[in-house]
Amino acid sequence: MTSEESEGLESRTESIANEVDETTAAEAKPQSPGSQLEEVTVCTALSGVALADLSHSQLIDLNQNALNDLVPNRPLIEGVEPISALRAEYESGSPRFRTQIDGLTDAGFRLLRRARGDGDCFYRAVGFAFVEQIFGDQEQDMAVASALSLLESSLEWLDAVGFQRLVYEDFYDTLCGLIQNIATPEMNGSVLTEATLLDQFQHPEASNSIVAFLRLLTSSHLRLNEEEYSPFLFHPELGEPMNVRDFCENFVEGSGKEADHVQITALCRILRLNVKVAYLDGRSDTVDFVDFQNDSTSKRFITLLYRPGHYDILLTDDGSPSAAALV
């Protein structure tokens, strides 16, 4: 190898390392499909395979593999870590992010639970927090029963918008089975604990089923309340108004589609959750919180940390998701 070559190789390795760093830091916002396809083109051109020789299905596979590679292989949802770890990632970046993170720390949010940046993060984070908050309830059996009855009553909305039973029943069973298992042991005597909850949510089958169910719930709520939501339904990239059906089919029901204000509002209403979203955007020195309050009888909040294109869960010192008193 000539020195020139080795230099080239080094700088390439370095640039890959940087890319990995950036992805880790910004949690890989899924790129538009166009740019992924471009990347595939480049890769195959480099390895000397003519793209034109590939069949359509091979191309799809190739694109899918490239897409999978773009999302770092992190757990779907992670264990709790100190928010200082997040701050460290911005050490060489914008000081405003660090100032904002310091503000969160001062407000009592010292812990963070990350969700994978695969476009499902909002639904996964909310699903996790929805089940997790049952553990924090003083009357756990009661909380289990009311969560189950809430979900059961939501089925009539799914029916009302014409989703077939076969479409949602397996997803529904997964989520309900999990919640049920907090109070009722399985055949082998095991019950769901906070630790096994994390296991379940890291397991793609269960985790993605729950995400799919929450997406269907969100869609049904939007469709049934069309009049209320239609002024707010816009194409996320084109900015053009959309009808509720097109919006749900394109930006709610399919997996990997990111959630925005409309979807957040809808899902939090359905699950009767009080949610605070902390906007960590580097635009000012303080963090803005946006409240989605749907249960006036409870003082508890789930807090999500938003960074452009991504959601994680924020927790207070004692690991509790609620910090109503602090904000």
Partner 1 sequence: MNVKTSGNQTAVRRLMTEYKQLTAGGAPDGMFTAGPISESDFFTWEALICGPKDTPFEGGVFAAKLTFPSDYPLSPFKMKFEPPLFHPNVYPDGTVCISILHTPGDDPTMYELASERWSPVQCVEKVILSVISMLAEPNLESGANIDCCKLYRENKKEYERIVRQSIREQLGLH
Kindly list the residues in this chain that would bind partner 1 in the complex (CB under 8 A): 32-33, 55-57, 59-60, 63, 163-164, 166-171, 174, 204-205, 208-209, 212, 215-216, 219, 235, 242, 246, 249-251, 253-257
Q: Judged by CB, which is closer to partner 1: 57, or 138?
A: 57
Counting beta carbons within 10 angstroms of the beta carbon of residue 74, is it exposed (0 to 12), middle (13 to 18) or buried (19 or more)?
Answer: middle
Q: Judged by CB, which is closer to partner 1: 157, or 171?
A: 171
**Contact at 8 Å (CB) between 233 and 242?**
yes
Closest approach of partner 1 to the CB of residue 321, in Å: 27
Closest approach of partner 1 to the CB of residue 52, in Å: 13
Q: Judged by CB, which is closer to partner 1: 59, or 327?
A: 59
Closest approach of partner 1 to the CB of residue 281, in Å: 24
Closest approach of partner 1 to the CB of residue 211, in Å: 9
CA atoms within 13 A on the CB side of 44: 18
What is the C-alpha to C-alpha distance for residues 52 and 66, in angstroms, rounded to an integer? 17
What is the C-alpha to C-alpha distance for residues 212 and 209, in angstroms, rounded to an integer? 5
Q: How is residue 288 annotated by DSSP?
A: E
Closest approach of partner 1 to the CB of residue 185, in Å: 21
Closest approach of partner 1 to the CB of residue 63, in Å: 8
Nearest-5° Cα angle at 303, 256 to 296: 115
| Three-state secondary structure call for residue 180 | helix
Closest approach of partner 1 to the CB of residue 280, in Å: 26
Q: Amino acid identity, residue 241?
A: P
Q: Judged by CB, which is closer to partner 1: 59, or 224?
A: 59
| Per-position DSSP letters for 88-152, written without gaps between them | HHTTTS-HHHHHHHHHHHHTTEEEEEEE-SSS-HHHHHHHHHHHHHHHH-SSHHHHHHHHHHHHH
Q: Judged by CB, which is closer to partner 1: 5, or 240?
A: 240
Q: Judged by CB, which is closer to partner 1: 48, or 162?
A: 162
Closest approach of partner 1 to the CB of residue 80, in Å: 27
Backbone dihedral angles phi then psi of residue 295, each to the nearest 5 degrees: -135, 95
Q: Residue with structure tokens 């929805």?
A: 130
Q: Judged by CB, which is closer to partner 1: 44, or 63?
A: 63
Q: Judged by CB, which is closer to partner 1: 112, or 125?
A: 125
List residues bridging with 289 in a β-sheet: 278
**Contact at 8 Å (CB) between 196 and 190?**
yes
